[in-house]
């Protein structure tokens, strides 16, 4: 995967979240554009399993990026000397690899397709090749991974796709005056991969931010001649001035936001690629890697579907060839949820209510599925739609009240009937939900938005991580503190006595959810008093308390592991 856009923050590498709109987005209000017939299976599936694997799993480091640089025209600057990295294959013997088991895990998760890194940027091939001797046949294991996985996928009714890196950072001719020689080898590898394993459903190219010298016209033609039904992502054409949200060729069919949920787009197909790894690593990260929570991963799936996109969720198998139990168990839990609520995900389109703080919505036929993931208040207020709600129900059981006026919709579910992650309300309409134009859901007005904010600590004194970033109403900015900080406060000054009774706090990425104990406090009679005390708030924390009237309030973090950081601190 492309992991160029990272910043060192404390002790973690954290991917930046691009906030720019798609390059060709339009302000014209449109109903969802129908998918081309060849993409129907992919769009209806909404969920795929990505697999990043190779000899590098022996080191527990990132695939390709951990290899030291041997070609100045390539971006990798890893710590593993090339002579060590390039010889890991001699020890690679994943005797526990079972293709049927991998596919079974994907099926249990509810994933509809699998994409394997048949060739990553380090040039190692997971198939038997005559085009390159740097392949799985040269390992002690010897078996053809691609052959076994393709056969197992078809046997179990799962679609199969190959990730193929057109880059090869190990090849000394790549991006040099001998690039044509490299291209001959690269296209020979691709020809094998698309010729020897039967019908392939999907081809996933990658990019590395450098010049795309891949003979794109000839490479697309090769793919079309060998696998005319395979769908192709957008990355073969991308270069230094591009983003993963662009589609630059008529042969590319969907775009690929990385490590974040894409923005709402029902005009161009898209798929967010994301990781189960707690460290956001693609390849096996070792025994201490860990996994994201079920809530986080289901949240990715729900918000992608609500934005009218897919999610391709990655696992990194171990050196022995197994999908680690913690990753397999997480996927199984996702499958349990999908078995119960899958009607609101599969074969749906996003909208008509765009994702927001409340959650997201999906639709199919005459039904809107409202996914309420955060109850900021007891009622979700939605914009008006040109359709009548004829019936409503809570998926999984429970009561719901829906009030529809010319001003909009008000939806409420009793607290005892809400689900911990996602309360799904099905709204049945008197017309097709696909005839509705998607609309934004206005946020409840936080009293802290644009209020004067100060903090006890700001990361390196850098204004882009200042206190105001946590009260600007922008989810892509954050207040952050220096590494080693174990206590801190963030204060807001309203400028006049203001009444509030509810707080919402948003920590950053799972690996940066460092707060252990905190208090929400207000200034009264010359001292700070607590309106609420809590522990381990997680990614999104919301709470209500007795109404408080004060001119100043603060989030007081009394215990944190290392440098707390927050997207937003909101009071209502």
pLDDT digits over 231-285, tens only?
A: 999 999 999 999 999 999 999 999 999 998 999 999 999 999 999 998 899 999 9
Backbone conformation region of residue 65, classed left if phi is above 0, alpha if psi is from -120 to 50, else beta:
alpha
CA atoms within 13 A of residue 525's CA, in its CB half-sphere: 1
Which residues contact residue 123 at a Cβ distance below 8 angstroms, ignoring those fewer than 6 apart?
132, 134, 165, 168, 169, 170, 171
Q: 12: phi > 0 → left, psi -120 to 50 → alpha, else beta; which?
A: beta
Mean pLDDT, to the nearest integer, of 136-164?
98
| pLDDT for residue 443 | 73
Residues 440, 384 contacting (CB under 8 angstroms): no
Number of H helices, E strands in the chain: 8, 24
pLDDT at 6: 31
Reduce the secondary structure of 126-193 to three states and give it as a string. Answer: CCCCCCCCCEHHHCCCCCCHHHHHHHHHHHCCCEEEEEECCCCCCCCCCCCCCHHHHHHHHHHHHHHH
Residue 508 pLDDT level (bands cut at 50, 70, 90):
low
Least Cα distance to 312 among 355, 263, 364, 255 occurs for 255
Percent of the chain with pLDDT over 70: 94
**Spatial contact of 256 and 273, defined as CB atoms under 8 Å apart:** yes
407: pLDDT confidence band, cut at 50, 70 and 90?
A: very high
**Confidence (pLDDT) at 377:** 79
What pTM does this model have? 0.85
Residue 480 half-sphere exposure toward CB, CA atoms < 13 A: 22
Q: Which residue segments constitute the domains of the chain, with CATH numbers given?
A: 6-14+35-344 (3.20.20.80), 349-435 (2.60.40.1180), 452-571 (2.60.120.260)
pLDDT at 25 over 50: no
Let me know: does 68 contact 81? Beta carbons within 8 Å.
Answer: yes
CA angle centred on 421, ends 18 and 348, rounded to 5°: 70
Q: How confident is the model at residue 524 (pLDDT cuts 50, 70, 90)?
A: very high
401 pLDDT above the threshold of 80: yes
For residue 266, give the DSSP letter. S
């Amino acid at each position: 995967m492309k992991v160029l856009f990272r910043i060192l923050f404390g002790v973690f590498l954290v991917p930046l979240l691009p906030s720019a709109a798609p390059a060709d987005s339009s302000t014209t209000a449109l109903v969802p554009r129908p998918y081309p017939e060849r993409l129907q299976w992919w769009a209806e599936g909404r969920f795929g399993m990505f697999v990043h694997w190779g000899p590098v799993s022996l080191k527990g480091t990132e695939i390709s990026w951990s290899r030291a640089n041997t070609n100045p025209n390539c971006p990798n600057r890893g710590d593993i000397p090339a002579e060590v990295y390039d010889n890991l294959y001699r020890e690679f013997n994943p005797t526990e690899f079972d293709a049927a088991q991998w596919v079974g895990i994907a099926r249990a998760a509810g994933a509809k397709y699998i994409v394997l890194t048949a060739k990553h940027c380090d040039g190692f091939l997971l198939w038997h090749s005559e085009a390159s001797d740097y392949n799985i046949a040269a390992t002690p294991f010897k078996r053809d991974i691609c052959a076994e996985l393709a056969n197992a996928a078809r046997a179990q009714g799962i679609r199969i796709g190959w990730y193929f890196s057109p880059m090869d950072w190990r090849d000394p001719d790549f991006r040099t005056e001998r690039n044509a020689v490299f291209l001959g080898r690269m296209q020979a590898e691709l020809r094998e991969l698309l010729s020897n394993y039967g019908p392939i459903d999907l081809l996933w190219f990658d990019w590395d931010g450098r010049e795309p010298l891949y003979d794109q016209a000839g490479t697309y033609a090769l793919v079309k001649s060998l696998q005319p039904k395979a769908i192709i992502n957008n990355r073969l054409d991308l270069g230094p001035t591009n983003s993963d949200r662009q589609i630059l060729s008529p042969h590319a069919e969907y775009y690929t936001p990385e490590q974040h949920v894409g923005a709402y787009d029902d005009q161009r197909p898209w798929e967010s690629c994301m990781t189960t790894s707690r460290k956001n690593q693609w390849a096996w990260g070792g025994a201490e890697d860990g996994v994201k929570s079920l809530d986080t991963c289901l949240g990715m799936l729900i918000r992608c579907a609500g934005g009218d996109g897919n999610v391709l969720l990655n696992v990194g198998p171990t050196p022995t060839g197994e999908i680690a139990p913690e990753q397999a168990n997480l996927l199984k839990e996702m499958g349990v949820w999908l078995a119960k609520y899958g009607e609101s995900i599969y074969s749906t389109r996003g909208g008509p209510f765009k994702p927001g703080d409340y959650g997201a919505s999906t639709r199919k036929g005459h039904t809107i599925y409202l996914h309420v993931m955060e109850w900021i208040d007891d009622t979700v207020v939605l914009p008006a739609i040109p359709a009548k709600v004829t019936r409503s129900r809570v998926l999984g059981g429970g009561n719901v009240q829906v009030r529809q006026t010319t001003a909009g919709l008000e939806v409420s579910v009793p607290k005892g009937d809400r689900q911990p992650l996602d309360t799904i309300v099905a709204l049945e309409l008197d017309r097709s939900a696909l005839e509705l134009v998607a609309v934004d859901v206005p946020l409840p007005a936080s009293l802290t938005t644009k209020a004067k904010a100060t903090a006890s600590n700001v990361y390196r004194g850098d204004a882009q991580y200042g206190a105001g970033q946590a009260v600007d109403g922008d989810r892509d900015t954050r207040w952050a503190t220096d590494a080693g900080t174990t206590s801190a406060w963030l204060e807001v000054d309203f400028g006049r006595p203001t009444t509030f009774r509810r707080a919402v706090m948003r920590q950053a990425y799972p690996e940066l959810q460092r707060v252990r104990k905190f208090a929400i406090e207000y200034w009264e009679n010359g001292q700070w008093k607590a309106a609420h005390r809590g522990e381990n708030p997680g990614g999104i924390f919301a709470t209500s308390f007795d109404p408080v009237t004060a001119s100043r309030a603060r989030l007081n973090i009394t215990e944190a592991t290392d440098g707390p950081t927050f997207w937003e601190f909101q009071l209502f």
